[in-house]
Amino acid sequence: MPRLYGFDDASRRRLRDDEVGPLRQMVSRALQGQSNSDIATWANGEGYRGTLGGEWKDASVGRLFRNPSIAGLRYDDGELVDAGHPGAITPEEFTALAERETSRKMAHAAPAYDYLLADGACTCGKCGSALQGARTNAGTPGYRCRPKDKNGRGGCGEVRMDAELLENHVGEYVVAELLKPGIRDQILKAQEAVRAQAEELKATIASLEGRRSEAAALYGSRSISSDAFVGADREITANIKNARSRLRYAEQMANFALGDAEDLVRWWNTAPSAAKKALTRLFLEKVEVFPASARGIRTIEPGRVVLHWSKLSGRSDGSGGS
């Protein structure tokens, strides 16, 4: 294990004189607001090198700043305590570095992405599993078929697509449907049916919750075994979750108002997420996404995305496609 920068030995009992000064300057620059990348550039320009002779990088500067040993400290159950060896900087400076690191993480954290086709609205064309929202290694939002976990939950894991690419594609077709004559009247009629469906779902949820309470009472009176109760409770809970998800979208579909937007493209681009989700659910029963013909393809190839239209759209083909 290489020694820590600023120390003369792996046990960190002695400071290394020719590294203490540069380390303190690096910390001082950090606390003055310089980025780790800028600090690395400065250190390399001054001829300073890491303990293995390599140049400083953003990541290596960050690792050094996160190590409490540089201040003669260590973590004990999450608390900073005296490590019993000298430090190149003060404990107060290390605390300030830790606060800076927290601020950096918050500043670089990717904001939550509101997926248009979540909760079963799009599925894997290969295995039928619901695609889930998942960011790529680069941090961009996407949809993916998650591979099976150790408990057998999941799909084939072979379908991925950039969220913006898929959602823009679906949005173009939905807006095209909105441009059809008489579509607004059909939407109003569909919303009436959806309101009735929402009431049915509320009754279903109430019934399921009652069954769950009954199962708990039977288990409490030892009328059923623990295994029987756990199995029943798991199934009922899954059904309640599914019904609540359907109810949430039904209520969105029932309550949104398209208004009198003259420019439907502009309306779609600026509409609230809930309104776009509601329209998408009204028009489309589901969206199927198939694997690309090769890795790295960033376009929608013919037949890769299949749109299954609802009766509202008035399409003669039940599956639709794009």
Residues 218-230: tens digit of each pLDDT: 988 989 998 899 8
On whether the CB atoms of residues 115 and 101 are closer than 8 A, the answer is no
Architecture of the domain delimited by 17-108: Alpha-Beta Complex (3.90)
Q: What is the pLDDT of residue 16?
A: 93
Q: Which one, of 288, 318, 293, lies nearest residue 130 by Cα? A: 288
Digit-coded pLDDT (tens) for 12-67: 989 999 999 999 999 999 998 899 999 999 999 999 999 989 999 999 999 999 99
Chain centroid, CA 67 distance in Å = 29
d(CA 107, CA 134): 20
Q: What is the pLDDT of residue 137?
A: 67
Encoded amino acid at 136, one letter: T
Q: Which one, of 85, 84, 101, lies nearest residue 93 by Cα? A: 101
**Residue ranges per structural domain of the chain:** 17-108, 122-313
d(CA 130, CA 81): 48
Distances (CA, A) of 224 to 160, 208, 209, 220, 221: 44, 18, 18, 8, 8
- Mean per-residue pLDDT over the chain, rounded: 86
d(CA 44, CA 50): 10
Q: Is the pLDDT of residue 248 over 90?
A: no
d(CA 226, CA 2): 54
d(CA 3, CA 104): 27
Q: What is the pLDDT of residue 247?
A: 84
Query: Looking at the whole model, is its pTM more than 0.85?
Result: no
> Worst-scoring range by mean pLDDT, 18-22, 77-81, 168-172?
77-81
